[in-house]
Every structure is written in structure tokens, then in C-alpha cells.
Amino acid sequence: MEILSLVLMSVVAAATPLLFAAIGELVTEKSGVLNLGVEGMMLVGAVVGFAVTASGGGAVLGVSAAAAAGSAMAALFALLTLNLLANQVATGLALTLFGIGLSALVGRGFIGVPLDGLPHLAIPGLSDLPLIGPLIFGQDALVYLSFVAVAAVAWFLTRTRAGLILKAVGENPAAAHRLGHSVLRVRWLAVLFGGAMAGIGGAYLSLAYTPLWAENMTAGRGWIALALVVFATWRPGRVLLGAYLFGGVTIAQLHAQSAGVALPSQFMSMLPYLATILVLVLISRDAARIRLNAPASIGKVFHPGG
């Protein structure tokens, strides 16, 4: 039971940064914007969150700074693509490369700096229960925040007028504009939210998952988060399921390596990414469902005067 509890706790920890980044990207894509810069925003959020926390600002200020840093990166993307009408795919790729370089530059002085991880919740009598105690009542605050974020986004998209406007902008921005909605404002807000969530996901890596800073510590998680949105067919509940599925694959390959499975370690390390490709291939076979759920105007440039 103790070993199983540790494995499940590891799965939760591996899934949480994916969940933050993917739920933010889902909202961004629902507005009709494709931001491929998730990896870069996560890295900048990770280094800024770690730097602020390690400098004495505390975990709350560190996570807040990470969200602000992710939003700042997203604002640069929004300025280039929404106002200056740059290509979204090329700009997103450039944002990732920029984030990789910027995070390495900012984090040079923090390599090897020790830091205590985020504190875990401890409820007497509940946190000590076998298996479910630490799993449900012994997580850190960001794990619970990730669940709140998924529930809030699901409620927002299905139960609020603003959520319906967001989806309308993603489906047909010209029609939404004719009805009097500000397409650019809606998309700006969606992109900023996606950046903030990516920044928090990065902060979870540097403050909780492995409380340290290392260059390129996201290790492709931003790309997996992008794939998760497609895997989930743009539905928040499925994003949660997919994040934990891929988190489980990540932890499974680590335990397989420690158990001495007779396969090269490099192959085992590839498993999460191979699983991502396999899932995308399987989903792509159902093109009708993808067309049904994908925002119709995703990646398309819109200008109010165009």
C-alpha cells in the first residue's frame, strides 16, 4: 500500500504541470488562436517563479510572478499575431525559442541553489489514512488549484455568456464582430490566460516537482500539453484525463528503469513522447470528430477592418 501510494503521488505530480499548461492552451485555442509557444512560456514561468521564491519572496509571490511572466510572454505573442497579423505558427515557434534562451540567461545565477519544495497539506486524522490520505489530503496547493482551474474552465465555457462569446469568436470571428463583440479583446484575454496557466505549470516544476532550476527542465512538456488539447478534443474533462494518462506513462517508465527492465534507458525515456504520437495518430483517424469539436477559425488571422 505504501509503494502504491508513492506511485500514485508521483503520477499526480507528473500530471499537474501538463494539466495547467493544457487547460490554458485549450482556452486560447477556443478563441481561435493557436499558440505553439507553451514550452517557452513554461520555462520562463519556471525560472521566474524559482528566482522570486529563492530570493526570499515566498512561494505565493513566486507562483504569482510565474503567472505574470507567462502572461508577459503571451502578450508578446498576442501583439505580434493579433495586432500585427504575424503568422501564428511561426510566432509560436519563435516564442518557444525565445523562452528557452531567456530562461537560460535569467537562471544562470540560480543553478544549484537549494530550495524547499511547496508544503503539502496535513490534516490530522485524514492525511494519515492508508492510500487515500496522502493522495487526497496530502497534496500541495497547486495540485488542488489545477483541479479548480479545470472545473472553472468547464463551467466558464458551458455556463456563462462570456464563455459562449469566446467560443463564438473561435468559430466565426467575423460574425461575432458583426454582432458587436470585440474579437481582439476576447482573443487577447484568452491568450493572456493561457500564458498565465503555462507560467504556473512551469512554476510547479521548479517549486514542487523538482524544487530546483535547470535549463530546459520542461523537457518537452509544453509540446505534450499542446497534444493533450487535441487528445481531449477541446474538452476540459478530457484534458484532466489525458494529463493523468500521460503523467502515468512518465512515472511508469521511471519505475521500469529502476526495476531493471532490460531495455535501453533512452528508449524508456522516449515512452511519454511515443505515447503522445501514438494517441495523436489514433485520434486523427476520426477526422469527423476533430472537425466537430475543433474551433473552426483556429489559427486564422482576423482584422476588424478586413
| Mean pLDDT calculated for residue range 106-133 | 84
Query: What are the grid coordinates assigned to 148, written together?
Result: 479548480
User: Are 37 and 167 a contacting pair, CB within 8 Å?
Assistant: no
Place of cell 520555462: 43
Under 8 Å between Cβ of 183 and 302? yes
Partner residues linked to 140 by β-bridges: 120
pLDDT on residue 258 = 67
Indicate the class that CATH gives domain 2-293.
mainly alpha
Q: Of 10-19, 69-78, 95-104, 134-143, which range is least confident?
A: 134-143
Q: Rounded to two decimals, what is the model's pTM?
A: 0.93
Confidence of residue 275 (pLDDT cuts 50, 70, 90): confident
Residue spans per domain, the chain: 2-293
Question: What value does the mean pLDDT take over residues 120-126?
Answer: 79
Q: How confident is the model at residue 259 (pLDDT cuts 50, 70, 90)?
A: low
Mean pLDDT of the chain: 89
Extract the C-alpha cell encoding 6: 508513492
Higher pLDDT, 144 or 128: 144
Distance CA 116, CA 96 (A): 28
Report the pLDDT averaged over residues 135-144: 89
Q: How far apart are the first and last CA of the chain?
A: 62
Instruction: Say whether pLDDT at 74 is over 80.
Output: yes
- Given this model, what pLDDT does residue 286 score? 66
Give residues with Cβ within 8 angstroms of 95, minimum separation 6. Answer: 35, 36, 37, 40, 41, 73, 76, 77
C-beta pairs of 140-148 under 8 Å, 24+ apart in sequence = 140/208, 142/16, 142/20, 142/63, 142/118, 142/200, 142/203, 142/204, 142/207, 142/208, 143/12, 143/13, 143/16, 145/200, 146/16, 146/19, 146/20, 146/23, 147/240
pLDDT at 270: 76
Q: Which of 30, 31, 43, 12 is nearest to 223 (CA)?
A: 43
More confident residue, 291 or 156: 156
67 with 41: CB under 8 angstroms?
Answer: no
Average pLDDT over residues 31-58: 96
Instruction: Kindly indicate the confidence band of residue 141, based on its pLDDT and cuts at 50, 70 and 90.
Output: very high
Question: Which band of pLDDT confidence, cut at 50, 70 and 90, is reported for residue 84?
Answer: very high
Higher pLDDT, 11 or 20: 20
